[in-house]
Amino acid sequence: RTVRGTVLVRNLAFAKTVVARFTMDGWQTTSEVSARHVAPLLSGTYDRFEFGIRLVDYLGGKIWEKKLEVAVRYVVDGRTDLGEMWDNNEGKNYVV
């Protein structure tokens, strides 16, 4: 089983990195998957990225026994002045 997510980011520069950081044990441990660019939106103002988390890669056969929490990190490559931008659903994380 795979959990899929879509992320919209403001197109602040051509080169950008979007990553989904996730946990299944209350942030005691974390893993990350990179999101891939899918398409520009709204005349290039935003970009759409997608990611997938293959639950069996992390949990084996016990995928129904855990809560998946996700936060998204966005980095504009070459723009250290912007730093990392995070979206964690206003502190609640995205939960599956």
Domain ranges across the chain: 2-95
- Which of 10, 4, 2, 1 has the alpha carbon at shortest distance from 87? 10
Our CA dihedral for 18, 90, 28, 33, rounded to 10 degrees, sits at -20
What is the pLDDT confidence band of residue 19, given thresholds at 50, 70 and 90?
Answer: very high
- For position 74, what pLDDT does the model report? 96
Enter the CATH code of domain 2-95: 2.60.40.2440
pLDDT digits 0-9 by tens, 25-67: 899 999 999 999 998 887 889 999 999 998 877 776 666 677 8
What is the pLDDT confidence band of residue 76, given thresholds at 50, 70 and 90?
Answer: very high
Q: Model's pTM, two decimal places?
A: 0.87
d(CA 76, CA 13): 6
